[in-house]
Amino acid sequence: MEKNTGADEKEKVAAQDEQSVEERQDNTIQSENRSDTADEAAVAERPAEAETAAAAEAAPAGAKAVSNGSKVWMAISAVLAIALVVVLVNPPFSSGSDAVANVNGDKITKDELYDEMVAQGGSSTLGNMITMKLIEQAADDAGVTVTDADIDAEVTRLQDQVGGADALDSMLMQYNMTMDDLREESETQVIVRKILEPQANVTDQDIEDYYNANKDSFATPEQVRASHILVATKEEAEAIKKQLDEGADFATLAEEKSTDTASAANGGDLGFFGQGDMVESFSKAAFALELNEISEPVQSDFGYHIIKKTDYKAATNPTLEEKKEEIRNLLVDQKVAELSSDWISNLRAQAKITNTLDPSQNSSGEPAATATPETTSASEGDASASASPETN
């Protein structure tokens, strides 16, 4: 059966989020996982999932960068909840006593809604808002600005890290986010990187060491991309093959006749897959086809397949020079992530913050008192005096 490493990788990425994000998104993630499981049962060795797995295996460094490298960025995703608070608690109601709902004549007021939302997650949401405000102020102080080109580059980087456009779309679905949401979130990540990147020194030796330690993971196996139509009997498959030979459109027939509903919705497309990602009979037939050639009926434990080979990727074994820039970006990301925690802590310590929901986050903005030579000497003198024979 198909390896489900693609779905596992998505769960690992999600598991790195801050706890508050996990709690809010848990139902969405569970729903997505149930859907993945149902789809898997429909077809032999689902290559669409295999493509995600192969992409993740081909770029493990990127996956590592997501899980280790941008904890701050992932935590800031929680700020999306703020928009919901604003929409529900502000317009169109002008007073806290106005009803936001009515149940059999009993109203739920705006104030009641606000109090419940604060109780459910107000403290963590406000904490994230404070962090966002500190980062914005730091950007102003540093003269850092973010352009559309910066956002485009950041989205592309994240796409590469998670294994491609399809994997990024899946991640966004897990968090109930749109691409516009992601672009808005990326602005903060760009700010943090621009401020901290000058401190993230990465040498050529660092890059070479990383490449040597992960050389095997950069290689990718030979892959094909194929579409298929899955039916229960050989007679059905032969009838479909006859229609295709007479000029029928493969995608249209897949949508109409394939019992693999997941791939049928995409015209039978299964994405890229390697030799070991499919049952043997399917894999052997797909790899033997010429580009755009359509197979005779191929039997597997799931029924009979008509397969069309649509693309091909040769095996790769990238050199250090080919991967140098990618590795440099990865290591910079990791160092920025390491620096960001202390940086944000320092921003908080140096800021005057009053948080009425969580007073533990308050700070005076004044540096901690440090001992002067005079006070140190005096203290040492007092200590010596107390320990002298006369005082004893």
Check whether residue 71 and residue 90 sit in a common domain. yes
Check whether residue 65 and residue 189 sit in a common domain. yes
- Is the predicted pLDDT of residue 279 greater than 90, yes or no? yes
Task: Report how far residue 70's alpha carbon sits from residue 61's, in angstroms, rounded to the nearest whole number.
Answer: 13
Q: Is residue 167 part of a domain?
A: yes
Check whether residue 177 and residue 67 sit in a common domain. yes
Please report, for residues 18, 76, 302, the alpha-carbon distance to residue 181 in angstroms, rounded to integers and kept in the order given.
18, 12, 40
State the pLDDT confidence band at 289, using cuts at 50, 70 and 90: very high
Per the prediction, the chain carries an average pLDDT of: 73
State the pLDDT confidence band at 95, using cuts at 50, 70 and 90: low
State the pLDDT confidence band at 58, using cuts at 50, 70 and 90: very low
Boundary residue ending a domain (297, 313, 329) = 313
Task: Report how far residue 297's alpha carbon sits from residue 308's, in angstroms, rounded to the nearest whole number.
Answer: 11
| Phi (first) and psi of residue 148, to 5 degrees | -60, -35
Check whether residue 167 and residue 259 sit in a common domain. no
Check whether residue 66 and residue 213 sit in a common domain. yes
Q: Is residue 210 part of a domain?
A: yes
Residue 67 CB contacts under 8 Å (≥ 6 apart), including other chains: 12, 13, 15, 16
Q: Write out the DSSP string of 282-346.
A: HHHHHHHSPTT-BPPPEEETTEEEEEEEEEEE--B---HHHHHHHHHHHHHHHHHHHHHHHHHHH
For 333-361, what is each residue's pLDDT tens digit?
889 888 988 898 888 888 888 887 778 87
Check whether residue 211 and residue 339 sit in a common domain. yes
Q: Which of 86-90, 261-265, 365-369, 382-386 has the highest mean pLDDT?
A: 261-265
Kindly report whether the peptide bond that precedes residue 92 is cis, defined as omega within 30 degrees of 0: yes
DSSP state, residue 145: -
Check whether residue 103 and residue 234 sit in a common domain. no
- Is the predicted pLDDT of residue 329 greater than 90, yes or no? no
* pTM given for the model: 0.51
- Domain membership of residue 256 as a residue range: 221-313
Check whether residue 209 and residue 71 sit in a common domain. yes
Check whether residue 207 and residue 300 sit in a common domain. no
Check whether residue 106 and residue 70 sit in a common domain. yes
Strands (E), 140-268: 223-231
Check whether residue 208 and residue 88 sit in a common domain. yes
- Is the predicted pLDDT of residue 251 greater than 50, yes or no? yes
Q: What is the CATH number of the domain that holds 284?
A: 3.10.50.40
Q: What mean pLDDT do residues 126-134 have?
A: 84
- Is the predicted pLDDT of residue 49 greater than 70, yes or no? no
Sequence-distant contacts of 212-217: CB under 8 A, at least 24 apart: 214/60, 214/61, 217/57, 217/58, 217/60, 217/61
Q: Is residue 107 part of a domain?
A: yes
Check whether residue 176 and residue 130 sit in a common domain. yes
Number of structural domains the chain divides into: 2
- Is the predicted pLDDT of residue 224 greater than 70, yes or no? yes
> Tell me, what's the pLDDT at 278?
92
Nearest to 305 by CA among 285, 275, 288, 276: 285
